[in-house]
Amino acid sequence: MAEKPLVLWFENLCLDDVPLVGGKNASLGEMVSKLASEGIKVPGGFAVTAQAYRLLLAESGLDAKLAKLLAELDQQTLSNLARVGRKIRRAMLSAVFPEPLERAICEAYAEMERRYGKECDVAVRSSATAEDLPDASFAGQQETYLNVRGPEELLDACRRCFASLFTNRAISYRQDKGFDHLDVALSIGVQKMVRSDLACAGVMFTIDTETGFPDVVLINAAWGLGENVVQGAVNPDEYYVFKPPLEKGFAPLISKTIGSKKRKIIYTEEGSKGTTREIAVPVAQRRKACLADSEVLELARLACRIEAHYGRPMDIEWAKDGENGDLFIVQARPETVQAVKQVQVLETYRLHGQGEIIVEGKSVGSKIGAGQAMVIRDPHQIARFTEGRVLVTDMTDPDWEPVMKKAAAIVTNRGGRTCHAAIVSRELGVPCVIGTGNGTDRIQEGEPVTVSCAAGDVGLVYRGELDFEIERVDIGSLQRPRTKVMMNLANPEQALALSRIPNDGVGLARIEFIINNVIRAHPLALLHPEQVRDAKTREQLRALIAGYPDGSAFFCEKLAQGVATIAAAFSPREVIVRMSDFKTNEYAGLMGGEFFEPEESNPMIGFRGASRYYDARYREGFLLECRAMRQVREEMGLDNVKLMIPFCRTVEEGRRVIEVMAEAGLTQGQAGLEVYVMCEIPANVILAEEFAEIFDGFSIGSNDLTQLVLGLDRDSEIVAHLYDERNTAVKNMIADVIRRVRATGRKIGICGQAPSDYPEFAEFLVECGIDSISLNPDTVISTTLRLLEVEKRLGQ
């Protein structure tokens, strides 16, 4: 029987070789041997096999010593875990490599030198034989050594890599997952380094890591070597790419966030072998995106090809070579959290009331946790952590895992969505807020806090233990009513999560949220900063658009990406996007807005909606909105977007708006573009047939319709007691317009507040034969159940 090899080259490996070289090395071999034709570039190298590890244990007598030490293990006591782990690692580091193993490693490295040059730089990574299984991620459990040069350094790195199979976190993780410590062997990957120290590197997932939404690629990027991203030592750039249109030639980069990226890991100066160092990133470079949009899209294409080959969502590490600009894949493993979830029961966490916000960051998951804060600044203090507390620290690495699973929640200063803290928190189901910047300074030791990840992308830490509830709904067998149940949505950051709720699309996507919270500046101030007669505001505008060629490019990209995120989340279901409907006082509140807006005594019925779009005083701003919508539909390929015109007072006004849109390249009917109108003015009801000749559909805005039918200002608290959509006059208007619009063959729905607030109003709409009801997300499930009952009663 032939002896098992001690070294195998990547090009001779495939996924079937996990028992020989572990999951990581087998996956590298799979990509090298089978995906090169797909454009996947993987740095070459070799694996020191699991047989080499077993040979080391047998020849040095370590196998018996390890069994004895592991018998002393009590994982529940952190001090015992640390003591046993330390003894095992010390024993392994003192072991002498058998001569055949040392020779095999040195000969393989000599071949690397022939391929890549004398004392070529290599990365030395672990690859456990039980790792990267579909339901268990061993990511980060063992050590990685970068910029290793020469045979002596390589042998030392291999010895330390073998010893890292018994780090405290690795021991703890195997215990939790039910793996026998002595059944798991370690292989080592020796891989040519990519000079990302001269460029950037990061991680990407072919599934949304927070919601499990399968149709996006999430990419994190930071300057320098990729370890800072993996470890969560920096707040990286974050990109989302929508997969379905990508291979059709579109450019669906639906979200781009520039992280602070304050530190980077680079090689030490030439002549100092085998080491890296961390340095501060210059301020100007921090503000720049690490990747060009074309590179983001190319990485996403590579990720999709890898996912297609493996047949499951993937967790991939990538690196850009700063010498030639090539993009390399350096690792690929199955994603092990969202991909294995069975989403039959929808859990919704709701906070009761609001408290004082101490810090905020990015949310991981959608849960809420509360308890006394324990601020740990030094890893040596880990042992003092007690179960049920909220862990507050600068960042975590795999050494922290034994305590993370005991935490009620986790808060870190640093890290992005693909950092260690985020990955482990998701796997454990622990709410975590990452990248707060100063959580360890703002949160006091021992104070009660509530950590909420239930409000979308932004994670909040409140002072005090606040009450919250968990609603669980079985959505696996939920039927669909005849009446479409859609959503009202404004915040793109909530879109991926909310799309999991059974629905028929978005009946009202408000772009005001994106303009107010993301863009923050008046469109005309971005177009004409020279007309802003305040030096401080002009400087704020310059800072806002830093990195963009001009203000119009900034406005269009931010608006397009916000809308595209919503459209992607609900694709292929329709998403009806309402063009801007700020009032003059609201527009004046935007940065620079006061220099472009008139003062009105009653903005609610003044210069708003359609009347702005063709007027010289705002027409340029509307053209920017149109340009952004063209990007969404034509460049990103999201043709499920329909557009809606608010507050259109006359039929002629409707025609003029359609003409302006056509001038901007948004031609009604072209490429399936539909244009709806808000039905929120009595004139829209009275002249329903005439409006139906211009527009493809109607959406009843019951909020404005109520105020105009009853002749009251809905912002006035004095007459608030009279404001009620259930008033007979309002209901008669609504019933009349539904009947008449349906007779024209056009669609009609409702997106006002009434059906969200009053279940009986939703019943009334079904009885009138409305096509769709668009609701606030928190009422979608309950209203769906109610509609099913009503339709059954009506025999629909």
Give the contacts of 735 (CB within 8 A, at least 6 positions apart): 764, 768
Provide φ and ψ at 668, rounded to 5°. Answer: -55, 130
The string of DSSP codes covering 622-634 is HHHHHHHHHIIII
Among candidate residues 697, 785, 787, the one with its CA nearest the CA of residue 738: 697
Tell me if residue 158 is catalytic: no
| Full 3-state SS string of 319-348 | EECCCCCCEEEEEEEECCCHHHCCCCEEEE
Provide φ and ψ at 84, rounded to 5°. Answer: -65, -45
CB neighbours of residue 614 within 10 Å? 18
- Find out whether 557 and 565 touch, Cβ atoms under 8 Å: no
| Residue 8 Cα to chain centre, angstroms | 37
CB neighbours of residue 502 within 10 Å? 16
Give the contacts of 561 (CB within 8 A, at least 6 positions apart): 253, 254, 255, 256, 492
73 residue type, one letter:
L
Q: Which residue is it, tokens 């703002």? A: 442
43-78 burial code (b ≥16 CB/10 A, e <16): bbbbbbbbbbbebbbebbebeebbeebeeebeeeeb
Catalytic residue among 420, 556, 626, 648: 420
How far are the Cα atoms of 490, 558, 580, 586, 614 from residue 513, in angstroms, in the given order?
Answer: 6, 12, 10, 12, 23
Give the contacts of 540 (CB within 8 A, at least 6 positions apart): 591
Pairing of strands 186-192, 122-128: antiparallel
123-155 burial code (b ≥16 CB/10 A, e <16): bbbbbbbbbbeeebbbbbbbbbbbbbbbbebbb
What contacts 24+ positions apart, CB below 8 Å, involve 311-315?
A: 312/134, 312/339, 313/205, 313/206, 313/207, 313/214, 313/338, 313/339, 314/205, 314/206, 315/137, 315/139, 315/203, 315/205
Query: Which DSSP letter does residue 581 get?
Result: -
CA dihedral sign of residues 186, 191, 196, 200: negative
* CA pair distance 181, 439, nearest whole angstrom: 36
Provide φ and ψ at 686, rounded to 5°. Answer: -65, -40
Tell me if residue 352 is catalytic: no
Provide φ and ψ at 439, rounded to 5°. Answer: -60, -40
Pairing of strands 458-463, 357-364: antiparallel
The CA dihedral of 729, 734, 740, 744, to the nearest 10 degrees, is: 160
- Find out whether 123 and 148 touch, Cβ atoms under 8 Å: yes
Report the Cα–Cα distance between both ends of the chain, in Å, rounded: 74
* CA pair distance 471, 487, nearest whole angstrom: 19
Among candidate residues 531, 556, 261, the one with its CA nearest the CA of residue 415: 261
Angle between helices 759-768 and 780-794 (to 10 degrees): 40
Q: Is 480 helix (H, G, I), strand (E, B) or coil?
A: coil
775, with CB counted inside 10 A (0-12, 13-18, 19+), is buried
Query: Which DSSP letter does residue 158 get?
Result: H
Active site residues: 420, 751
